[in-house]
Amino acid sequence: MKPVVLLIGKLPNVIGDVARQLDHMPIQWLGAHDQDEVRRQLDAEPRIACAIMGAGLDDKVRGKMVAIIAARRPDICIHLKDRTSGPDGLVPFVQRVVQHEILEALERG
């Protein structure tokens, strides 16, 4: 069974683009772009291994989403992308997080 990663971003198509570009990775991708969608995904999928949030969301929204995740699922690591690397930095950021936090951990057993 593939590990599940929740991608959170400002626009749904951005999250879909990331998942398509990284479809070679053995991951099940879920997406969310607002607080209600984050709640629904957390409630519906108990296997979420981590949440990765893009930098396009405003800081107050990011803070609220972190609070939602931490309150509902304190077992999930939350990764926030920096703003300096810009939109082009999202795919490499997601790839690094998934490789180091999930896939390498699975290999170690």
Do the Cβ atoms of 46 and 3 come closer than 8 Å? no
Run of H or E residues at 108: helix 104-108
On average, the pLDDT of the chain sits at 94
Q: By three-state DSSP, how is residue 101 classified?
A: helix
Between 12 and 98, the higher pLDDT residue: 98
pLDDT at 12 over 80: no
Between helix 59-72 and helix 35-44 the angle, nearest 10°, is: 20
Which domain, by its residues, includes 32? 4-108
What pLDDT does 108 receive?
Answer: 86
Q: What is the pLDDT of residues 51-94, one digit of tens each?
A: 999 999 999 999 999 999 999 999 999 999 999 999 899 999 99
In this predicted structure, the answer to whether residue 109 has a pLDDT above a threshold of 80 is no
Q: What is the pTM of this model?
A: 0.94
Angstrom distances, CA of residue 37 to CA of 4, 34, 69:
16, 5, 11
Q: Domain total for the chain? A: 1
We report the CATH number of the domain holding residue 95 as 3.40.50.2300
